[in-house]
Structure 1
Amino acid sequence: MKIAVFDTYVRRADGRRMHFDILVSEQGDRTVPQTVLEYGHRYLAAKGIPADSLTTRECRFCHVETASPQVEAEIKRIGFAIIELEHCD
């Protein structure tokens, strides 16, 4: 499965900048930025982090790659996957 990777940054209340990737099916959600932002909001809500600052300026298409089996399974299950990169704890 080919996936679109959206590089995403959000400023936390403690001042640290979260960095994570939102991964979606390349054929579907890549052309629908609002859907990708909704996935980002769901992820942040699950972490208890307000998502008011998450817009298309903080979440941008980066590239297309081949999904690992784990990422592919997660996208099939819930529509997206997240790769946590910095300050996501």
Structure 2
Amino acid sequence: MNAEHVMAELRSFIVSEFLDGREDGFDTTTPLLEWGIVDSMTLVSVLAFIRDRYGVEVPDDELTPDNLRTLEAVTALVVRLSS
């Protein structure tokens, strides 16, 4: 699985679903939790997207702040779990 491709698709999903298409200031190191982009409600949508798009189920013990901190961290999680 290509990390750059996963990151681009996750970024596009987050921008369209949670940021109303506004990309200003959102990059791979944006703090998703700290900025409130990902919270308990949006996390469900992110996990469903990951499951549906990549066939990856994220175990509960992997739902840590470190794994969800940035787009880079989420991408790394998806790539790691897919291998």
Give yes or no for TM over 0.5: no
Question: As a proportion of its length, which structure holds more strand?
Answer: 1
Q: When the two structures are superposed, what TM-score results if normalisation uses the length of structure 2?
A: 0.29
The structure that is helix-richer by fraction is 2
Structure with greater Cα Rg? 1
Give the TM-score of the pair, scaled to structure 1: 0.28
